[in-house]
Amino acid sequence: MTVSPTATTYTVGSSTFISVNWSITTTGNGGGTATSPNGVYSLDTSVTPVGATQIPATAFATGGISISVPSLTSGTFAVPESFTIPAAVLSYAQTNNLTTIYYSRDFLAGAEGYTTPEFVQINLAFPVANPDAVLNISRVALRFSDNTSIKIIQPDTHIMAVADISYTGSGLFDAMWEIAEPVSTMGQPVFVPMQPVRQFLVAGGRVYLQSPTLPTQKQGLHILRLRVMQPALTFTAPILQYSVNSQGDTSTLPTLPPVRINKPAENALLATDTRFEWQAVKGAHAYQLELFLPEQTGLKPDDAAIAKRAPDSGMMVPAKRNALTLGELSRSKLRPNTTYYWRIIAIGNKGQILSTSALREIRIP
């Protein structure tokens, strides 16, 4: 058996596939099917189990492939394969300062038995100025795929979310999309896994990750989060809330005057019992408290800036309530010794914003 090419270069972080051809030569002794259960990544080309240092875990092996070999036929048969290198393999290579790894297969070719393994040398190109820089996540923001941060929808509506992630360095990013559905969102949310995310991030910068389709069968409040397991975050990851409501959306209500705030006062100090209270808005189906960090300049964000970013924390309540106290989950997302700007928005039955309050300052102790 031979393989072509015997060496290739892979740019880490690219979405390209590595394509190879395995060529199996038979002598006509029975034919049948030539199969290879797994492709294996290793650190060298030793074929002796004791001497071969495989990159840890068979989970890094790729899937099986096979080819039908005509009975009693001699000749060479090509088996094409295209693959990408798993994120865990790239992470291992980076951690151990590897610039070359090997990928191999052997085939069971009917009566002729197993072929001798052949290896493809893969030269890794890490496109980073400092390949030793450790991956660090500096920001995670969640929004819906239509660039909104608020949703009140009818059952069985198709919606998805996007995570906007800023980072420095390079390394393995390991996370899980999780959802808390009613009835758990009425008390302490109970999050259940939806879909894992495992990706090798390189060169620092920004990446956008799309969620799976979000559940919309159950009526009530849903809370979505992207739980990051690696690397460890130095801040509390944000959440995204949406509400499923069976009431129709036959019309768009006109914009109403600004929401009038009763409490807390401007520049108040947040406490566990701080009560946010406002006057009811006609036609509202829900209210949302939104809290924003200052701009990078330290100044109060303006309306144009807020329209382009998701809130840094917040809480949604049904329209029958016109007051709330921030729960532990929402408070945990706030940075201590920081001034935030907050507002109340009134949401219509279609998820549209009916009106908003003016931004007010609140201090986090």
Evaluate whether 2-125 and 128-246 have a shared fold. yes
Cis ω on the peptide bond leading into residue 231 (within 30° of 0)?
yes
pLDDT 10s digits, 142-156: 988 877 777 888 888
Residues 26-53, mean pLDDT to the nearest whole number: 63
> Is the predicted pLDDT of residue 119 greater than 50, yes or no?
yes
When pLDDT is cut at 50, 70 and 90, the band that residue 48 belongs to is very low
What's the pLDDT score for residue 128?
55
Strand partners, 26: 75
Look over the chain and give the mean of its residue pLDDT values, rounded to a whole number: 79
Residue 154 CA to residue 152 CA, distance in Å, equals: 7
> Is the predicted pLDDT of residue 347 greater than 90, yes or no?
no
Highest mean pLDDT among 111-115, 144-148, 152-156, 267-271: 267-271
> Is the predicted pLDDT of residue 21 greater than 70, yes or no?
yes
Indicate whether this model's pTM tops 0.85: no
> Is the predicted pLDDT of residue 68 greater than 80, yes or no?
no
Strand partners, 272: none
Strands (E), 181-247: 192-201, 205-210, 220-230, 239-244
What's the pLDDT score for residue 49?
34
When pLDDT is cut at 50, 70 and 90, the band that residue 185 belongs to is low
Residues 87-108, mean pLDDT to the nearest whole number: 81
When pLDDT is cut at 50, 70 and 90, the band that residue 278 belongs to is very high
For residue 358, give Cα distances in angstroms to 149, 200, 227, 301, 319: 18, 42, 32, 11, 19
Q: What letter does residue 115 receive in the DSSP assignment?
A: P
Q: Where are the domains of the chain?
A: 2-125, 128-246, 253-365
The amino acid that residue 136 corresponds to is N
**Is 2-125 assigned to CATH 2.60.40?**
yes
Angle value at C-alpha 137, between 133 and 139, nearest 5 degrees: 145
pLDDT 10s digits, 288-320: 898 888 876 667 777 666 666 677 788 888 888
Higher pLDDT among residues 147 and 69, named by residue: 147
The 10 Å CB-count burial string (b at 16+, else e) for 123-156 is ebebebeebebebbbeebbbbbeeeebbbbbbee
- Other beta carbons within 10 angstroms of residue 82's beta carbon come to 9
The alpha carbons of the chain give a radius of gyration, in whole angstroms, of: 28
When pLDDT is cut at 50, 70 and 90, the band that residue 51 belongs to is very low
Q: Number of C-alpha atoms within 13 angstroms, CB side, residue 11?
A: 6
> Is the predicted pLDDT of residue 72 greater than 50, yes or no?
no
Two structure tokens written together for 219: 């009526």
Residue 180 CA to residue 192 CA, distance in Å, equals: 6
Two structure tokens written together for 189: 């949310």
What's the pLDDT score for residue 295?
74
Residues 187-195, mean pLDDT to the nearest whole number: 84
Cis ω on the peptide bond leading into residue 318 (within 30° of 0)?
no
> Is the predicted pLDDT of residue 275 greater than 80, yes or no?
yes
Q: Looking at the domain that runs over 128-246, which CATH code has it been given?
A: 2.60.40.10
Residues 221-247, mean pLDDT to the nearest whole number: 85
| Cβ proximity of 184 and 169 under 8 Å | no
List, as one string, the DSSP characters of 287-348.
Answer: EEEEEEPPPTTSSPP-HHHHHTS--SEEEEEETT--EEE--HHHHTTSPTTEEEEEEEEEE-
Residues 129-151, mean pLDDT to the nearest whole number: 77
> Is the predicted pLDDT of residue 60 greater than 50, yes or no?
no
What's the pLDDT score for residue 304?
61
* Of residues 12, 9, 10, the one with CA closest to residue 127: 12
Q: Looking at the domain that runs over 253-365, which CATH code has it been given?
A: 2.60.40.10
What's the pLDDT score for residue 54?
45
When pLDDT is cut at 50, 70 and 90, the band that residue 41 belongs to is confident
What's the pLDDT score for residue 250?
35
Residues 21-48, mean pLDDT to the nearest whole number: 71
> Is the predicted pLDDT of residue 118 greater than 90, yes or no?
no
List, as one string, the DSSP characters of 61-103.
Answer: SB--EEEEE-TT-EEEEEEEEEE---HHHHHHHHHTT-SEEEE
Sorted by sequence, the CB contacts under 8 Å of residue 200 that are 6+ apart come out as 12, 13, 87, 90, 91, 94, 170, 171, 172, 173
What's the pLDDT score for residue 297?
60
Residues 243-263, mean pLDDT to the nearest whole number: 67
When pLDDT is cut at 50, 70 and 90, the band that residue 342 belongs to is very high
